[in-house]
Structure 1
Amino acid sequence: MSHSNEKLAVRIRCNAERALLTELFLTPKPGLVDRRNSGAHNDMTLQTFIRSINAISPWFLRFFEWGASNATIAPGECLALIRPIGFECETAMFAATGGINTHKGAIFALGLLSVAAGRAEALRIDITRENLCFMVADFCHGIVGRELGNAGRTRTAGERVYRRYGLSGARGEAESGFATVRRLALPIYDDLLQQGDCENHALMRVLLELLAFNADTNLVSRGGVDGLTFVRDYASNLLLQNPKPASDLLDKLCLFDDALIARNLSPGGSADLLAVTWFLAQLPASKIWTLECVDRHFCKKMNRIVNT
């Protein structure tokens, strides 16, 4: 790997780590672990998450390096080949947390984006928000149908939620190229920063928007559709009451937090999307490639390799 590639790999790894820390320390976050409390979790604390982030951060460098070293592999074959690295990263997480799942969803999302960054760099495709998201969509094409829609024994909470309610969770977000982040979270975040809002406030508003819109399967797993509806309605009402920055918004978010804790509800899927939002926000949003452009570039790259 060249010196410039190494610098980029380190930058991607650092941005993934900072995305997780930024999400963690944002306070208050309804139902989630933050500096105020442990949310609706009695098995983890702020320190549990910090240990987890320290353990998994080096793996984002591995994800990038894999993407750069295997850029000639067809996109549809990448996911199965990446997964062993993901499992090793999860093992490191569980070792650091004593078996507690703190970041499984974030490893999946940010790991895929890190692979996409390495692949884009090797193929000389601009590393923009859209390009990385389109590459992830290409890696994950058909994943919902294959992993959630197949008949057979239901093993995970995600499978149960999909088969009962049709909600595809983290897999659906990845297969869509993080459509919720691209179409909702990032435009709101960018607009608020351009208006002069601080990063902390912009992230709070984005989290509220995600809670109002995202069909968070973590909420459904804990509280059924009623739990999801409660959170979405509560967040929507807060947004209606506070169309502009309000001095008492933090107090209202604390009450929201208390309400979710009382109901044992934790919107972990939305927390992961918030981290993805911050990660992608560090990248430019220009020079958009479509999936067809990426495929065409990949084919040209393969033809050059075959003919040399």
Structure 2
Amino acid sequence: MPFAAVLSSDAPPSADQMAQAVGRLASLSLQREMELTPKPGLVDQANAGAHHDMDLATFRASLAAISPWFPVFFQQGVGGHHLAATHFLRQLRLSGLACERAMFAATGGVNTHKGSVFSLGLLCAAAGRLFARGDEPGVVGLCSEVALLCADLVQRELTEPATAHSAGERLYWQYGFTGARGEAQSGFATARAHGLAPYLRARANDMDEESALLEALLHLMAHNPDTNLVARGGLPALSLVQVEAMRLLAAPTPTSSLRKAQLVAFDQLLIAHHLSPGGSADLLAVSWFLANLGELGQPCGGMCCDE
């Protein structure tokens, strides 16, 4: 259903209508990221990047499996809008884990979208909570609600455990990186500053969507402390990606064809080093989701990039 259909009548949209619209926006954000090509080190329409256990077909199967859950997350936000953040997040996590199980069943155990289930699941649930309260799910309000839901999440889950079991915990203890938890706790500060803002600037300068998304991805790769890279190659891997992305961004923006040629070369570099900036890919999907909230009838109002 087109987003505009939500507002096609004089009657206010129902919770079910909004759930379907927000869920479709979340799914489309993952589709846009998935199909964007060329993406350095990442699965796209040209190749599998630095991955040996997944390809575009794997991602498509995964997306089909997790997409029905996004409206569920919204409806859970509606039903739990009155709950305290910690209690609500505990309930939401159960649905998130069920969504992850659907993903793993569809991919044969391959982790394709775990980070996106976490980030977009939070955004959909936060949108449901705001809708139930009668508040507009604009970018600032939505990200603030996610930050409220995830307040102290890093403290509770990364700094308190006596031993580090997950990759996120190990990287926090080893390097101090807070990963997806820290990004959500900040209200997606990195996505907003280095994904959403460059994307909106590029679009305002008449750049087509594909080119604007590629620019946003480069900005994210230049600034995001991507734990996927650190897990694969330590701090040197993160430095390699950030330095190369910054080098490309430092020069005047080239033509679309030249930028794609640069990204193809960047792709080959990361494939050779077995590096995949999956965290930046997740944040690109978040950025596109936030940039297109206006399709739900809630324009950014110039506040999309406010901190």
TM over 0.5: yes
Equivalent position of 1:43 in the other structure: 53
1:109 to 103, 119, 122: 119
SS in 2 for 1:253: helix
Q: Measure how far apart 1:243 and its partner are.
A: 3.1
Aligned-CA RMSD value: 1.5
CA contact (8 A) 2:151 2:185 kept: yes
Deviations 1:109-134 (A, max 9, x none): 00000001111100011110111110
Contact 2:81/2:133, CA 8 A, preserved across alignment: yes
Cα distance, 1:141 vs. partner? 0.4
Q: Distance in 2 between matches of 1:287 and 1:227?
A: 36
- The answer (yes or no) to whether the contact 1:63–1:111 under 8 Å persists in 2 is yes
Q: Is the 8 A contact 2:154 2:178 kept in 1?
A: yes
Q: Distance in 1 between matches of 2:254 and 2:196?
A: 18
Residue-by-residue CA offset, 1:28-52 (whole Å, 9 max, x unaligned): 1000000010011100010000000
Question: Residue in 2 aligned with 1:264?
Answer: 274
1:182 is displaced (CA, Å) by 1.8
Mapped to 2, the partners of 1:116 and 1:287 lie a distance apart of 21
Mark the runs of 5 or more structure 2 residues left unpaired by the alignment.
1-11, 294-298
Paired amino acid for 1:109:
S
How far off its partner does 1:287 sit?
Answer: 8.9
For residue 35 of structure 1, give the secondary structure of its aligned residue in structure 2.
coil
Aligned letter for 2:128?
Answer: G
2:184 equivalent to 1:174:
yes
Percent identity over the alignment? Answer: 48
How many residue pairs were aligned?
288
What's the TM-score, normalizing by structure 1?
0.91
Q: 1:230-258 CA distances to partner (integer Å, 9 max, x unpaired)?
A: 00001011111343545311111001001
Residue 255, structure 1, aligned to residue 265, structure 2: yes
- Residue 187 of structure 1 and its aligned partner are, at CA, apart by 1.6
Q: Displacement, 1:286?
A: 3.1
Q: Counterpart of 2:77?
A: 67
Deviations 1:244-273, CA, capped at 9 Å, x for gaps:
545311111001001101111000100000
Provide Cα deviations, 1:142-193, integer angstroms capped at 9, x if missing partner: 1111111124121111111110110111000000000012222212111111
C-alpha distance in structure 2 between counterparts of 1:201 and 1:181, whole Å? 17
Counterpart in the other structure of 1:285:
300
| Aligned-partner Cα distance in 2 for 1:256–1:287 | 33
- The question of whether the paired residues in 1 share the 8 Å contact of 2:211 and 2:256 is answered with no
**1:30 match:** 40
- Kept in 2, the 8 Å contact 1:77–1:139? The answer is no
